[in-house]
Structure 1
Amino acid sequence: MHLNGVQVAWQKYGAGRDTGVRAYALLPEAIALKFSDGSVYLYDAVAPGRVHVRAMQRLAERGSGLTTYVNQFVRERYAGRVA
């Protein structure tokens, strides 16, 4: 899949746990999330902002806490729906 003209490599998230986020793709200054319903959203430096994107990237790489973070701090503040 291409996002903003960049080929992204999806990484699985959740390792078999029941979680809303199923996969993520790290981009410079952005993160794309694929949710359990098949939807894909892009979060970037504009929406929801650099601080949130960096936190989401760290949680994604750590493998836990990402869905909770999105639900508590980001909600519907995304740059765009991709799929």
Structure 2
Amino acid sequence: MKRYKNLEGHSGVTGYEIEPDSIAVQFNHSAVYRYTYNSAGKRIIEKMKQLATAGKGLSTYISQTVKQKFEDKLT
């Protein structure tokens, strides 16, 4: 799991792992959720990858747009 840069300083996201058709996101409460093309759509997953790599805006995007569109909870 790669550490999320959290450039805004108040993100609920602490880490992420990018795969070709998915992204796993770790939140402050240690839960890891996997979002896939199947669960959220390709456009949303690719945007999440961009935000994760940039280290800014991922938590807000998830709470406002992605919401409960995760494939599964890993932990």
TM over 0.5: yes
Structure 1 counterpart of 2:15, from 6, 23, 29:
23
Please state which structure has a larger fraction of its residues in helix: 2
2:50 pairs with 1:58: yes
Letter in structure 1 aligned against 2:43: V
Q: Which runs of 4+ in 1 moved over 4 A?
A: none
Q: Which ranges in structure 1 are unaligned for 5 or more consecutive residues?
A: 1-9
RMSD: 1.3
| Pairs aligned (count) | 74
Letter in structure 1 aligned against 2:35: Y
Tell me the alpha carbon deviations over residues 36-59 of structure 1, each in whole angstroms, 9 at most, x when there is no partner.
000000000111111100000000
**Is the CA contact (8 Å cut-off) linking 2:7 and 2:56 kept in structure 1?**
no
Q: Cα offset for 1:11?
A: 1.1
Which residue of 2 is the match for residue 11 of structure 1? 2
2:54 pairs with 1:47: no
More deviation, 10-19/23-32: 10-19
- 2:43 and 2:8 map into 1 onto residues whose CA distance is 28
